[in-house]
Structure 1
Amino acid sequence: MLDTLIFLLEKFFFFFFSFLSSSPCSRYVGHAPPPPPHAAVLRRGDLLEVPRTLFTHFGIYLGNNRVAHLIPDILPAVTSDARLLRRKVTNTRLLLGVLAKRASVRVDSVEDFAYGARVLLNTMDRAVNRRVLPGEEAARRAECLLGSAPYSLLWNNCEHFVTWCRYGAASSLQTEQFCQWLTLLIRDQRNVALAALLGLLSLAYLGVSSGTTLPAIIIPFTLWMAS
């Protein structure tokens, strides 16, 4: 049962993040990023980015090859064993953390943080129109948040963490891009007709009942009023 749930969640996140692939924070997807910065050129408080297939992961460099980053993790919700919490976060821990809305701000090596991908250095500075805080202040902000934390895929993710540390205010360009896409989707009246058609097909296939009739009416009506 757990394996099935994880499989379905993986599919959900694949399709979810596909909508974010055109966001400013995913601008490196499909392009060869520059070589990873050598540890000697990294400074305490630097913002590190790791482009994944469809999104970007973020962290704050603390010095001595250490990176603080917020990552979904179910384990802090069920145990306080520091030995277990220090282990690498597996996909199962990560997906269950997303489902339970739990995360941890943890410290890993640059190599573990990158997970085989190339690391980009301070590139968000060009996309965020905010003053960059001194590196020491950014690093101390990250350190004060270490430990268990609430998590939301849209409203409290790794990007919110690093922007609060480096710029003084939490924000997420990836979330903004998704909300823009969702707004366009709702305002497109063609989706009203599509929802109505799907509702009629469900009634024809499943029969008339409260479980089929109410969604068939309410969803198109809501989209129509919001468009």
Structure 2
Amino acid sequence: MLYSLTFLVEKLSLLSNFKLFEFKWTDGKRKEAGCTERTTYSHIVAPLSLHRGDLLEVPRTLFTHFGIYLGDNKVAHLIPDIMPVLTNDKMIIKKVITNKRLIMGCLYKCATVRVDTLDDFVYGSNILVNHMDRKFKAQQPFPNEEVAERAEQLVGAIPYSLLWNNCEHFVTYCRYGSAKSQQTEMFCECLKSIIRDQRSVFLSVLLGIIYIICFGLAPSTTLPTILIPFTLWMAG
């Protein structure tokens, strides 16, 4: 039991260290790469400093949200939204997306690339400007005007995937021509480390036994107890 608890605490600590899949460099790696500090602007003064085509990052509680600045205090960004599936009324769709709309969009795998004001996009947070350019050194960004035009061409309803087609994929496609998400990569690395840790096999066996004790011996309880640990063992 102590073995399993140690495993859980270790993995939860790992998640908390990078703010739920947000990519961060250590100071040592940043110095080796010759990186300077992030360019951060208050959302109040940002419009005076931003340029059309800039890539914006806004830290959220569980993730980082991304958008492309279009000028005139407007930002194009991809966000899950169920409303385009339910109605064609543009006035309704243009309203600020509520949490309910966002969650339903995630579940239905529907999103929209929309243009909102900078204040609505930022939602009271600070802005990181073109910080991703340092991570994509091998891929030079397009000229800012081309970046903005690519973003504008994608405005409208679009399929959504939390891991494979999210707001970060949208901005990296617009700015670098290659849709990538380092938040997704970090999540996959974390998942791989959990699968390859042999303690996960022991933990899955323990949970399976508890499941059988609680719900009785039956195919629906026995098969998962056997197959899940076996799969983890082979994958590790």
- Whole-Å Cα distance in 2 between the matches of residues 97 and 19 of structure 1? 28
Give the fraction of aligned pairs with identical amino acids, expressed as a percent: 55
Paired residue for 2:92?
Answer: 84
Aligned length: 207
For the pair 1:35 / 2:46, whether they are aligned, the reply is no
Aligned match for 1:54, one of 55, 62, 73: 62
CA shift in 2, pair 1:122/1:197, >3 Å: same
Q: Deviations over 1:158-213 (max 9, x none)?
A: 00000000011000000000000011111111110110111111112211011111
For the pair 1:122 / 2:130, whether they are aligned, the reply is yes
- TM (normalized to structure 2)? 0.83
Equivalent residues in 2 for 1:150-189, closer than 5 Å: 150-189=159-198
* Cα RMSD for the two superposed structures: 1.9
- TM (normalized to structure 1)? 0.86
Query: Structure 2: any 5+ residue segments left out of the alignment?
Result: 1-14, 26-37
- Whole-Å Cα distance in 1 between the matches of residues 20 and 87 of structure 2? 38
Contact 2:39 2:129 in 1 (8 A): no
* C-alpha deviation, 1:26, in angstroms: 5.8
Q: Deviations over 1:110-134 (max 9, x none)?
A: 1000011111111111122321110
CA shift in 2, pair 1:212/1:23, >3 Å: closer
Runs of 4+ in 1 over 4 A off after TM superposition: 17-20
Paired residue for 1:195?
Answer: 204
Q: Secondary structure at the match of 2:169?
A: helix
- Whole-Å Cα distance in 2 between the matches of residues 22 and 100 of structure 1? 23
Paired residue for 1:207?
Answer: 216
Contact 1:25 1:55 in 2 (8 A): no
One-letter identity of the residue aligned with 1:21? K
CA shift in 2, pair 1:33/1:141, >3 Å: closer
Q: Secondary structure at the match of 1:120?
A: strand
Equivalent residues in 2 for 1:6-21, closer than 5 Å: 21=19
Contact 1:45 1:138 in 2 (8 A): yes
* C-alpha deviation, 1:214, in angstroms: 0.9
Mean alpha-carbon deviation: is it higher for 121-130 or for 133-142? 121-130
CA shift in 2, pair 1:19/1:183, >3 Å: farther
Contact 1:101 1:150 in 2 (8 A): yes
Query: Structure 1: any 5+ residue segments left out of the alignment?
Result: 1-16
